[in-house]
Amino acid sequence: MPDYHDDLRLAHVLADAADAQTMDRFKALDLKVETKPDMTPVSEADKAAEELIRSQLQRARPRDAILGEEYGIEGTGPRRWVIDPIDGTKNYVRGVPVWATLISLMEAGEGGYQPVVGVVSAPALGRRWWAAKGGGAYTGRSLTSATRLHVSKVSRLSDASFAYSSLTGWEEQGRLDGFMDLTRAVWRTRGYGDFWPYMMVAEGAVDICAEPELSLWDMAANAIVVTEAGGSFTGLDGRPGPHSGNAAASNGLLHDELLGYLNQRY
Q: Has residue 152 been placed in a domain?
A: no
Looking at residue 38, what is its pLDDT? 62
Q: What's the CA gap between 186 and 182, in Å, rounded? A: 6
Shared-domain flag, residues 34 and 132: yes
Shared-domain flag, residues 20 and 126: yes
Shared-domain flag, residues 248 and 162: yes
Binding-site positions for Mg(2+) read: 69, 84, 86-87, 218
Looking at mean pLDDT, say which of 40-54, 125-139, 168-182 comes out highest: 125-139
Looking at residue 1, what is its pLDDT? 62
Residue 39 in this model has a pLDDT that exceeds 60: no
Q: Has residue 151 been placed in a domain?
A: no
Shared-domain flag, residues 130 and 242: no
Provide the residue range defining the domain that includes 35.
4-143
Looking at residue 74, what is its pLDDT? 95
Q: Has residue 63 been placed in a domain?
A: yes
Tell me the mean pLDDT in the region 153-171: 94
Mark which of 143, 174, 199 sits at the end of a domain: 143
Q: What's the CA gap between 194 and 13, in Å, rounded? A: 23
Residue 185 neighbours by CB distance under 10 Å? 14
Binding-site positions read: 69, 84, 86-87, 218
Beta strands, E only, 69-227 = 72-74, 79-87, 100-109, 112-122, 127-132, 136-142, 145-148, 161-163, 188-190, 208-211
Q: Has residue 110 been placed in a domain?
A: yes
- List pLDDT tens digits, range 188-244: 999 988 999 999 999 999 999 999 999 999 999 999 999 999 999 999 999 999 999
Shared-domain flag, residues 34 and 103: yes
Q: Has residue 208 been placed in a domain?
A: yes
Look at the chain and report how many structural domains it folds into: 2
Mark which of 90, 111, 143 sits at the end of a domain: 143
Q: Has residue 190 been placed in a domain?
A: yes
SS3 141: strand
- What CATH number is given to the structural domain containing 66? 3.30.540.10
Mark which of 143, 173, 204 sits at the end of a domain: 143
Lowest average pLDDT, out of 40-49, 80-89, 133-142, 189-198, goes to 40-49
- List pLDDT tens digits, range 177-195: 999 999 999 999 999 889 9
Shared-domain flag, residues 170 and 93: no
Q: What's the CA gap between 184 and 180, in Å, rounded? A: 6
Q: What's the CA gap between 116 and 131, in Å, rounded? A: 8
Q: Has residue 150 been placed in a domain?
A: no
Shared-domain flag, residues 105 and 9: yes
Looking at residue 89, what is its pLDDT? 87
Shared-domain flag, residues 12 and 133: yes
Q: Has residue 149 been placed in a domain?
A: no
Shared-domain flag, residues 224 and 103: no
SS3 100: strand
Looking at residue 112, what is its pLDDT? 87
Shared-domain flag, residues 10 and 106: yes
Shared-domain flag, residues 208 and 252: yes
Q: Please say whether the beta carbons of 242 and 223 come within 8 A.
A: yes
Residue 90 in this model has a pLDDT that exceeds 60: yes
Shared-domain flag, residues 110 and 195: no
Lowest average pLDDT, out of 25-34, 57-66, 91-100, 172-181, goes to 25-34
Tell me the mean pLDDT in the region 50-58: 96
- What CATH number is given to the structural domain containing 236? 3.40.190.80
Looking at residue 41, what is its pLDDT? 64
| DSSP assignments along 24-70, one per residue | HHTT-TT--EEE-TTS-EEEHHHHHHHHHHHHHHHHH-TTSEEEETT
Q: What is the mean pLDDT of the chain?
A: 93
